[in-house]
Structures are given as C-alpha cells and as structure tokens.
Amino acid sequence: MGFFRFFRSRNEDTSAKVAKDRLQVLIAHERTGRDGPDYLPLLRKDILDVIKKYVAVDDEALTVQLESQDNCDVLELNITLPEPDMSHQPSEEAKRRAALRRQGQAIT
C-alpha cells in the first residue's frame, strides 16, 4: 500500500478535503438559521403564502437565505416548483380566484 501511496499524485481530492468542503456548506447553512435576523422565518412564511396563491407548492419548496458578501447583504430565495400536475386539476385556491375573476370582483 505504502508503495503505491508514495507515488500517488498529491493533488487529488483526499477524504479530508471532501470532509472540509461538506462541512463548509453545512455550517454556513446552519448558521443562517441561527444568526439570521428574527424576521426571516416570518418572511419565509409570508412569501410561501403568496406563492401558494398561484401555485400549489409544499412547505419545503422554499428556502430563504441571507448572505453577507463584502458590504452588502443578499437575500436569496429558492423556490422549487412542483412537477406539472398530471390530473390537471386546479387547486382550491385557483378555483376560488377564478370564480372571483369571473364575477369581476377584486381579488384579495
């Protein structure tokens, strides 16, 4: 083993390198939940409610992250839209909104 390891190239990805890369991503993600401003969970909920008015997404479909780069904060939203619904049935919310539209009422 030692014989082969001696001649092995030094710049290939070692398991320690893989470990560090994985931890870097994970810890950064876990810290945003912890260090992020108090309003982030509420903001996430409100955004999710708005999206749900138009598309039937589930609660895990949205990730909200606040990242600081140099001297500006970037709010990153990541929304995973569902696969096209094969049943072609509109959501209850979409039906309600369509009915309102037909009646010429303001949508709330």
Partner 1 sequence: MTKTIVVTSGKGGVGKTTTSASIATGLARRGYKTVVIDFDVGLRNLDLIMGCERRVVYDLVNLVNQEASLHQTLIKDKRVENLYILPASQTRDKDALTIEGIARVMHKLRKSEFDYIICDSPAGIERGAKMALYFADEAIVTTNPEVSSVRDSDRILGILQSESKRSKMNEDPVKEHLLITRYNPSRVKEGQMLSVDDIVDLLAIPLLGIIPESLSVLESSNAGKPVILDEESLAGQAYADAIDRLLGESKPHRFMEAEKKGFLKRLFG
Residues that bind partner 1 (CB under 8 A): 2-3, 5-6, 14-17, 19-20, 22-24, 26-27, 30-31, 34-35
Least separation, in Å, of the C-beta of 21 and partner 1?
10
Least separation, in Å, of the C-beta of 70 and partner 1?
17
DSSP H helices, 1-108, are 2-7, 15-35, 40-54, 92-102
Least separation, in Å, of the C-beta of 41 and partner 1?
15
Q: Decide: 32 and 66 in contact? Cβ < 8 Å.
A: yes
